Amino acid sequence: MTGAVRALLGDGRWHFQHGPIDCILLAEGEPGVAAACIERAWERFRGLLAELVAELDLLRTDLSSLDGARIAPHGVVARRMVGACRRHAEGGRFITAMAAVAGSVAEELIGRFDDARIQRAYVNNGGDIAVHLAPGARFDIGLVADPAHGLAGLPLAGRFAIDAASGVRGIATSGWRGRSFSLGIADAVTVLATHASAADAAATVIGNAVDLDDPRIVRRPANRIRDDSDLGARLVTCAVPPLDAAAIGRALAAGAEAARSEIARGRIIASVLSLQGRVLVVDGASAGPIARPLADAAFSRSLVPC
């Protein structure tokens, strides 16, 4: 069996990988301290997958079911996953703890950088990102609305800065084109929250809400595409035809309503929804300008939800 592996990338970032987990890590601060934090994060990372796998059955349980309401895993990350997702199971909505796995792992690792001598750090787990920011520090984020366009040479759908004062420490993106499945049709729903685990769960839920009843949307049972998907035979989005403006508007409005509900309950800080070229930013009136345009600011350290 192959254990966890890590590799230092040319630009100072690290890649930690084990099975399906791929994390990119960066830490800036006093050099010795940054390196020591990376080592602590690595030590924590090595046993993480086995810890999750040991309780996988619990983590794949529908939290809105009778069994789901009672589960209480032992692992730290597992408990965080269940905690982040259980609140979304209200009203019988299907959700398993797996909806927050990536963000929860990222959040577990970023905890190793909690040191006053670290200026900035991030753990990017396949597009679900946990950040550490010292007072006065900030990260510039590029938002890619449509993963099919990516970075190379094309303008980003949005740029914003998250500064320490904003309270944002978690960024997650959900969409039907990514590795994870979605029940909705959004190209990308990005959520900013105080914790990566919360952002991850909310992005899934809001992404599922961006939807339309259109027979041309191709949906297939999740377990036909990927064995043993925790979604079972639920229909996940496989293809979305070009939609007219009214349809795009309706689908985004449904997602926006879900996003506003999450903000009102204090679970997330802001959300950006995109669908076929239209981008909608939802943030609380009292939240202040989270999505500050960078204007001509140079784009550094791309944190791109993919």
Partner 1 sequence: MTNMSATPSSFAARSDGQPIDPGADVSIAALDHARVPERMSADKVRCEACPVLCQISPGKLGACDRYGNVDGVLTRLDTLALVARPGTDLVAWNAAAQGQWDGSLVGGDAPVFVSGVGSGTTYPDYKPAPFIVASTHAGVDMVTVVTEGIFSYCSFKVKIDTDRYLGPEQATVRHRGEAVGHVSTIEYGSQFLALGGVHHLTGGSKKEGRVVCEMMMALGNREPVELQIEGGASVVVCADRPPIVDGVEERRMRVGCGSAAIGIFAPQWAGHVDEVVVIDDHITGVLSEHQAGKFLDMAPTGIVLRGRKSTPGRYFQVAHPGAGWGGTDIVDPLSIVEGWERGRGARPGLRLLMVSTTGEDAAWFVLDDALVPRPAEMPADVRRVVERIGENCEPSLCSVLYVAGAGGSLRAGVTDNPVRLTRSIKDLLVNVTCGGAPVYVWPGGGITVMVDVAKMPSMSFGSVPTPAIVSPIEFTMRLDDYRALGGHMDRVRRLDEIVASGAYRLVAPAAGNPWPLDAPRGAPA
Residues 12-31 contacting partner 1, CB under 8 A: 15, 17-20, 22
- Whose CA is closest to 141, among 287, 281, 286? 281
CB of 187 to partner 1, least distance (A): 12
Q: Give the nearer residue to partner 1 in terms of CB position, either 5 or 165.
A: 5
242 binds partner 1 (CB under 8 A): yes
Q: Which of 50, 71, 212, 279 binds partner 1 (CB under 8 A)?
A: 50
Q: Considering beta carbons, is residue 111 or 147 the nearer one to partner 1? A: 147
Q: Are 74 and 55 in contact (CB under 8 A)?
A: yes
Q: Does 53 bind partner 1 (CB under 8 A)?
A: yes
Does residue 244 bind partner 1 (CB under 8 A)? no
Residue 180 C-beta: closest distance to partner 1, Å = 9
* Spatial distance between the Cα atoms of 157 and 277, rounded to a whole number of angstroms: 9
Minimum separation from the CB atom of position 28 to partner 1 (A) = 21
| 40 touches partner 1 (CB under 8 A) | no
Dig out the tokens for 219 from the structure.
Answer: 């949906």
How many residues at the interface with partner 1, by CB under 8 A?
35
- Letters for 162-201 (x = contact with partner 1 by CB under 8 A, - = none) are ---------------xxx-x--------------------
Interface region with partner 1, contact rule CB under 8 A, candidates 31-39, 59-67, 111-119, 152-160: 152-160
* CB nearer partner 1, residue 241 or residue 288: 241
**268 near 274, Cβ under 8 Å?**
no
Residue 222 Cβ vs partner 1, minimum distance, rounded to whole Å: 10
Closer residue to partner 1, CB minimum distance, 1 or 285: 1
Based on the shown chain and the rule CB under 8 A, indicate whether residue 11 belongs to the binding site for partner 1. Answer: no
Out of 35, 69, 151, 264, point to the residue binding partner 1 (CB under 8 A): 151
Q: Does 233 bind partner 1 (CB under 8 A)?
A: no
Return the range that interacts with partner 1 (CB under 8 A); candidates 78-86, 105-113, 222-230, 263-271: 222-230
Which DSSP string corresponds to the chain?
----EEEE-TTS-EEEEETTEEEEEEEEESHHHHHHHHHHHHHHHHTHHHHHHHTHHHHTS-TTSHHHHH----SHHHHHHHHHHHGGGGGG----GGGGHHHHHHHHHHGGG--TTEEEEEEEETTEEEEEE-TT-EEEEEE-S-TTT-STTSPPSEEEEEEGGG---EEEEE-TTSSS--SS--SEEEEEESSHHHHHHHHHHHHHHS----TTSEEEEHHHHSTT-TTTT-EEEEE-----HHHHHHHHHHHHHHHHHHHHTTS-SEEEEEETTEEEEEE-GGG--SS---TT----S-B---
Q: Which residues bind partner 1 (CB under 8 A)?
A: 1-3, 5-7, 9-10, 15, 17-20, 22, 49-50, 53, 56, 147-154, 177-179, 181, 225-228, 242
